[in-house]
Structure 1
Amino acid sequence: MVDFVWNVRSPLQQAVMPGRAGAIVPFAGVKLAEIRDFDLVQIFARRGQREATAKAVKKHYGVDAPAPRQAVSAKGATLIWSGPDQLMALSARKPGTFRPVDALRESFEGIASLSDQSDGRCLIRMSGLQARAMLAKLTSVDLHDSVFPVGTAATTSIDHTAVNLWRSENSEDGSPVFNVLVFSSFADSIWHTIVDAAAEYGIEIETRSAASV
């Protein structure tokens, strides 16, 4: 009998090549990182249960549910608005955890539907002094500080592909940090599109665990 071992592999396993890419410049203008080992659960309030779901979010995570076009940091998770009456909870994957919805089931029983999206999405983080200029080539969202400050989220598209985009706290050098969640089946295409858009600025590429961000 053949033994089978279930090893989760990123759809970007072959595409992401850590190191420098693009233009040869002293300092990379764009830093790209694929974030791995995360859990992602979509929380969708059932009909008439919007307020109850918001209260459950507050009780479970200790912060208010994100308002439209908002991402908020909670203890051990980031909560991202993803549409009317719905949000996504992003957290570092805990060793031995195979069903992240189990940890939320009691809190949202009867008021919200839970869907594990962990292996159905890829998470790409973009930062650096030219990250905003690079993204301006790919999305129609206005990313200026006055319009898209830290904590802002959008459901938009890159290269005609639906993505969730939000802005995290600035990096240590003061440059903006943007995050993109994309369906795994489109991840390879989106990754190469981003790399092509960033090439002129010089790129630094890495992979990171969600536990380190």
Structure 2
Amino acid sequence: MSALATSVFDMPSYVQSSYVGLILTQLEVSLGATLAGLAIALPIGQFCSRLPRLYPPTLGLVTLIYSIPSIALFVLLIDYTGESETTVFIPLTLYTLAILVPGVVDGIRSVPRDVLDAADGMGYGRARRYLAVELPIALPTLMAAVRVAAVSSLSLMSIGATIGNYGGIGDLFLLGLRFFDNRLIWVGLITLLVLSVLCDIALRLVQRLLTPWARSLRSIG
């Protein structure tokens, strides 16, 4: 962290003034895309878990989308959304589906059958059983996928700098290349690493808060 602070203060003044703004943009767009992807993946994963035959083609589709080069997808969207954060936000959201949809399906499939039968015997409807039983039990598996998706989005967003000033920390890479200043590139790399680690730690803490029963089970075991 001290090396990062030293590098930041050594940066040109025109970069120092916008450094915090770049970090906030990086977090806002990448984490926002992860949340949007999760909102889409939850019903898709639930649907695939109810109809297993639909899971292979769905997984194939989201994997195919993930294989599209991000720069190509950014360029294709410019005609419709212009050079804006939306042009970066949409591909990041789509890319998270390749991670989050399998996470949702695997999480739901990990719920023991006898637990579902017990919920049915207690008169739980399908929606209530999903929210009160399936989703909480699936949460550890789901949160593991969310952590991977969030870190992946943090990294991929930097490519958005190629279509304008919408790449967050990625703008430092372009400035470093433009002005032949390796300090900017190193600051960008270190910042991304630090953000990724902190994001993963924060999501682990969220998981612990949402699954207090999991700690109880581990202590009993």
Higher relative contact order (CA 8 A, sep 6+): 1
Q: Whose radius of gyration is greater, 1 or 2?
A: 2
* Greater helix proportion: 2
When the two structures are superposed, what TM-score results if normalisation uses the length of structure 2? 0.25
* Greater strand proportion: 1
When the two structures are superposed, what TM-score results if normalisation uses the length of structure 1? 0.26
